[in-house]
Structure 1
Amino acid sequence: MPLGIRIFLAYFLFVGLAGWFVLDTVMDEIRPGMRQSTEETLVDTANLLAELLREDLKNGTLAESRLPELLRAYGLREPRATIWGVQKTAVNHRIYVTDAAGIVLLDSSGSAVGQDYSRWNDVYLTLKGVYGARSTREDPSDPDSSVMYVAAPIKDGERIIGVVSVAKPNRTLQPYVERSQRRLAWLGGGLIGLGLLVGGLLSWWLSGSLRRLTRYAQAVSEGQRAVLPTVSGGELGQLADAVERMRTQLEGKAYVERYVHTLTHELKSPLAAIRGAAELLEGEMPAEQRQRFVANIAGESERLQQLIERLLNLAQVEQRQGLEERVAVPLRELADDLLQAQAARIQAGGFQVENAIPAGLAVRGERFLLRQALANLLDNALDFTPAGGRIRFSVDRQGEWVTLRLFNQGAAIPDYALPRLTERFYSLPRPASGRKSTGLGLNFVQEVAELHGGELRVANVEEGIEVVLALVGP
């Protein structure tokens, strides 16, 4: 299972379970919390009424007072109030008063006057001098029919002369409970969903960063050219920098070892030729023969210089992971510059050169490297084209790809050599001199093509050889 999915599942379980537990706990606390708040309000109301009723109950004039009329008028009121989105159209309090024996003297509902309420907890406990309250179902089979009763003593000095109870049905609180639960469910669900979304994005970002680093490490281990991915974040950024430093150090060590070995191998032949010619020059010989050995030394020295220069150019390209610039490079002008630089050689060989690249056509890349690559291709074309032969630059374009073709008239390349032409130090003898080159030119061109995201192909065609360099247009 991918690391990102495992991280997300762990996060999902933690956030989901924690959110569900908190949400369930809070939902369960809404109803008792609201009842507690209501009970506290009923306590205040009962105590206020106890003070208002004290004189009438003490003097025995409760029945003749205006209170029964006021309670009946109170029961008929229609508040028409909108409380947090809930419509309240009727009052819900029931108020009754008992004497010191628990006999109901006054009832706002008119149903219990004269009844003995001394055994109900609200009256019973209050007459004993403690806090009295009860919750009783109006319908024993309906749990939602319970009514909350809160009582307060009516006192004459320190003596309890009666009890006033205020009742409120719990079902009147239900709309507020349900509204609070719905809002909490939406908000809680939204927060859990947001938390999971953040967790999913975090897992996706983390796993994506690790995947990019993994692909980079795999590409480096396979010897491919790869660009260090941009990874944000402290530890991941440090990991990316550490991987890049490790790659640089390992590649640098292996690169130096490989080049020292190959350079040593390639230097043996010209150095042996120079040493042999120098030893022969120490003895007496005709001037013509001496001149030939001096020319051999000069030729081998020039070969050494070319080998070193091309190795340095190749090393510079192979060590790079990307281009230093990406600009539009016009191909026709670039080819014209190279042909002008080789004008003397072209004229001496009598070559028929044609530049058929359309004016204004460009590719995107690094001008210096592309010029070096085309210069190598033109050098090869001039080396393998017989005197008076044809050389032609042309271009095809398909979509974003620009395909540069360089044709030179000449003998076909042997089949066994075609797959090896881009190998380092592999070269075919030049038709004119029979000598081989450094074998680094096409290898350099291939590195430049890959650095630009393109490719190099060499093939035999009718009457000659065609080199194809595919690059991305501007």
Structure 2
Amino acid sequence: MPFGLRIFLLYAVFVGFCAYLVLRTMTAEIKPGVRQTMEETLVDMSHLIAVVVANDVKQGTLNQSQYPRLFRLFGEYVPQASIWGMDKIDANKRIYITDHKGIVILDSDDMALGQDYSRWNDVYLTLRGDYGARTTKLDIDDELSTVMYVAAPILDGDQIIGSVTVAKANIAMQPFIERSKNRLILWGIVLGVVAMLLGALISWRITKALGRLSDYAEQTIKGEKASPPQFRVFYEYGDLAQVIDRMRHQLEGKNYAERYVQSLTHELKSPIAAIRGASEILQTSPEPKSQQRFLSNIEHETKRLHLLIERMLNLSAVEKQQMIENRQSFAIKSACEQAIRAIEGECLQRDITLQVNLHENADVSGDELLLQQAIVNLLQNAVEFSSIGGLISLNCVIKEGLLVLSVFNQGEAIPGFALAKLQDRFFSLPRPSTGKKSTGLGLNFVTEVAKLHNAQLTIDNVEGGVVATMIFSQFKKR
């Protein structure tokens, strides 16, 4: 699967998941938000009516007043209003008034006149001096049949002499809720499509840029004359192309080829012999389990060949540099932080605790990318030789006028005979977790980078593990 497509799929999954969470949360909040607003309106209306009818309730003349007729007219009233495109054609409210015992003395719908409503929460709580409200289903099996009841006390001074309840069916708000949900979903889909198109465009540009880099690398491998591609947007790819170009020029040197052919040939013999032996055995059609084992051997040795070649290329670029031509001053703390990001994922997979103590920050003159890769190599080495659940610490301090960068890992001590050979090319020890060796070029690479930065690399056994130390004699304290 192309790299750009993988990026797009990950991006699409992330955007889709975030859009789903946002839409789900917002649509879930629409209904309670609308109903809270409606409840506030009912509270205001019930209190207004309670103030208006208080005198008649006190004197017991409510039924002889004009309010029963007015409430009936209110129920029959046709507003003929258009609210945000939704037509309102009825009042859609019920009003009833009770005395201090909870007996209904006035009902706009004439449904409960004379009935005892003292046990309904709206009346019961209001007569006790609390906020009285309830929501009741008219049909137990219909979620949309709920009615909201909000009550207010009728007061005679400080004494509660009755209650006024204003009720409204929640289904009256359902068209507004559905319209808001539909609009929200529509805009969510539109924004999602736009985000996907943007992601597809970026993925296509990344794939195209990688394709140009791949073509340039192929031309370099074939020895063809080619200029490194230029990138106006993804300038990091342009930097990578320049690095490849410099690497190509360095690899063209005949002295390098003559110097390393013998060593490289020797190191290639082992994986090639293993691959050849496995393939010969496979031709005899052994048992399926054996086939799987030999196929795994072939895969492992192929990866080893690939890693060996990559390390050789990196090492050659460093070894051919007598000095760094374009020295720049950079913060060693920044290089350490970038290196930490490169191995954090593997630390999490192996449950390794990574402690970082960058108490001192200083500027070093050289190539930040090279030094960063060297620190990555030290950290990677520490990860590979740490047990699962172990500890790795990266420290940077100024001690006795020297800048000391150290990487410690918990694990077994290095055998005495191997300490002096660790920085030699192609020397490697078996990894505790797999029992397999690496290319043996990582620490040699770090040694060469240290030399270019006027530093020295040492590796020692200490209590509880091993520590690799880079000591810089030239630096500038911030």
Which TM-score applies when normalising by structure 1?
A: 0.52
The answer to whether the aligner puts 1:243 opposite 2:238 as a matched pair is no
Q: Which moved more, 1:164-173 or 1:222-231?
A: 222-231
Q: How far, CA to CA, are the matches of 1:256 and 1:236 in structure 2?
A: 27
1:89 positional shift: 1.2
Match of 1:65 in 2: 65
1:133 positional shift: 0.5
Match of 2:235 in 1: 234
Q: How far, CA to CA, are the matches of 1:250 and 1:67 in structure 2?
A: 101
The residue correspondences of 1:91-170 to structure 2 (distance < 5 A) are: 91-170=91-170
Q: How far, CA to CA, are the matches of 1:183 and 1:249 in structure 2?
A: 61
Equivalent position amino acid for 2:30 in 1: I
Q: How far, CA to CA, are the matches of 1:36 and 1:72 in structure 2?
A: 27
Equivalent position amino acid for 2:236 in 1: E
Match of 2:42 in 1: 42
Q: How far, CA to CA, are the matches of 1:210 and 1:204 in structure 2?
A: 10
Q: How far, CA to CA, are the matches of 2:43 and 2:55 in structure 1?
A: 20
1:249 positional shift: 4.5
The residue correspondences of 1:35-434 to structure 2 (distance < 5 A) are: 35-231=35-231, 232-251=233-252, 253=253
Q: How far, CA to CA, are the matches of 2:104 and 2:115 in structure 1?
A: 5
Q: How far, CA to CA, are the matches of 1:84 and 1:225 in structure 2?
A: 69
Q: How far, CA to CA, are the matches of 2:87 and 2:227 in structure 1?
A: 67
Match of 2:312 in 1: none
**In 1, are the aligned partners of 2:229 and 2:238 still within 8 Å (CA)?**
no
1:248 positional shift: 4.3
Q: How far, CA to CA, are the matches of 1:87 and 1:244 in structure 2?
A: 71
1:186 positional shift: 0.4
Matched length = 257
1:132 positional shift: 0.6
Equivalent position amino acid for 2:22 in 1: V
Distance 1:256 1:98, change over 3 A: closer
The residue correspondences of 1:440-451 to structure 2 (distance < 5 A) are: none
1:243 positional shift: 2.3
**In 1, are the aligned partners of 2:154 and 2:160 still within 8 Å (CA)?**
yes
Secondary structure at the aligned position of 2:223 is classed as coil
Indicate the percent of aligned positions where both proteins have the same amino acid: 51
Match of 1:25 in 2: 25
Match of 1:13 in 2: 13
Q: How far, CA to CA, are the matches of 1:225 and 1:89 in structure 2?
A: 81
Secondary structure at the aligned position of 2:182 is classed as helix
Q: Deviation per CA, 1:408-436, whole angstroms, max 9, x where unpaired?
A: xxxxxxxxxxxxxxxxxxxxxxxxxxxxx
1:28 positional shift: 1.3
Q: How far, CA to CA, are the matches of 2:162 and 2:6 in structure 1?
A: 69
Equivalent position amino acid for 1:245 in 2: R
Q: How far, CA to CA, are the matches of 2:108 and 2:101 in structure 1?
A: 19
Q: How far, CA to CA, are the matches of 1:43 and 1:240 in structure 2?
A: 70
Q: How far, CA to CA, are the matches of 2:21 and 2:103 in structure 1?
A: 48
1:54 positional shift: 0.9
1:149 positional shift: 0.1
Equivalent position amino acid for 2:21 in 1: F
Q: How far, CA to CA, are the matches of 1:210 and 1:27 in structure 2?
A: 41
Secondary structure at the aligned position of 1:18 is classed as helix
Q: How far, CA to CA, are the matches of 2:230 and 2:67 in structure 1?
A: 82
Equivalent position amino acid for 1:12 in 2: A
Q: Deviation per CA, 1:125-165, whole angstroms, max 9, x where unpaired?
A: 11111111111111222221110000000011111000000
Secondary structure at the aligned position of 2:150 is classed as strand
Q: How far, CA to CA, are the matches of 1:79 and 1:254 in structure 2?
A: 95
Match of 2:288 in 1: none
Greater C-alpha Rg: 1
Q: How far, CA to CA, are the matches of 1:162 and 1:228 in structure 2?
A: 89
Q: How far, CA to CA, are the matches of 1:255 and 1:56 in structure 2?
A: 113
Secondary structure at the aligned position of 1:78 is classed as coil
Q: How far, CA to CA, are the matches of 2:210 and 2:148 in structure 1?
A: 62
Q: How far, CA to CA, are the matches of 1:55 and 1:236 in structure 2?
A: 84
Alignment RMSD: 2.1
Q: Deviation per CA, 1:39-74, whole angstroms, max 9, x where unpaired?
A: 111111111111111111111121122211211221
Q: How far, CA to CA, are the matches of 1:155 and 1:22 in structure 2?
A: 46
Q: How far, CA to CA, are the matches of 2:149 and 2:57 in structure 1?
A: 21
Q: Which moved more, 1:157-166 or 1:9-18?
A: 9-18
Secondary structure at the aligned position of 2:113 is classed as coil
Secondary structure at the aligned position of 2:151 is classed as strand
Q: How far, CA to CA, are the matches of 2:200 and 2:244 in structure 1?
A: 27
Match of 1:373 in 2: none
Equivalent position amino acid for 1:17 in 2: F
Q: How far, CA to CA, are the matches of 1:172 and 1:256 in structure 2?
A: 85
Q: Deviation per CA, 1:381-410, whole angstroms, max 9, x where unpaired?
A: xxxxxxxxxxxxxxxxxxxxxxxxxxxxxx
1:226 positional shift: 2.8
Structure 1, gaps ≥5 residues long: 258-474
Q: How far, CA to CA, are the matches of 2:178 and 2:87 in structure 1?
A: 14
Match of 2:3 in 1: 3
Q: How far, CA to CA, are the matches of 1:222 and 1:125 in structure 2?
A: 89
Q: Deviation per CA, 1:259-300, whole angstroms, max 9, x where unpaired?
A: xxxxxxxxxxxxxxxxxxxxxxxxxxxxxxxxxxxxxxxxxx
Secondary structure at the aligned position of 2:40 is classed as helix
Equivalent position amino acid for 2:247 in 1: M
Which TM-score applies when normalising by structure 2?
A: 0.51
Secondary structure at the aligned position of 2:230 is classed as coil
Distance 1:250 1:126, change over 3 A: same
Q: How far, CA to CA, are the matches of 1:83 and 1:230 in structure 2?
A: 58
Q: How far, CA to CA, are the matches of 1:112 and 1:123 in structure 2?
A: 13
Q: How far, CA to CA, are the matches of 1:109 and 1:247 in structure 2?
A: 92
Q: How far, CA to CA, are the matches of 1:236 and 1:90 in structure 2?
A: 67
1:85 positional shift: 2.1
Equivalent position amino acid for 2:111 in 1: S
Structure 2, gaps ≥5 residues long: 258-478
**In 1, are the aligned partners of 2:122 and 2:150 still within 8 Å (CA)?**
yes
Equivalent position amino acid for 1:239 in 2: L
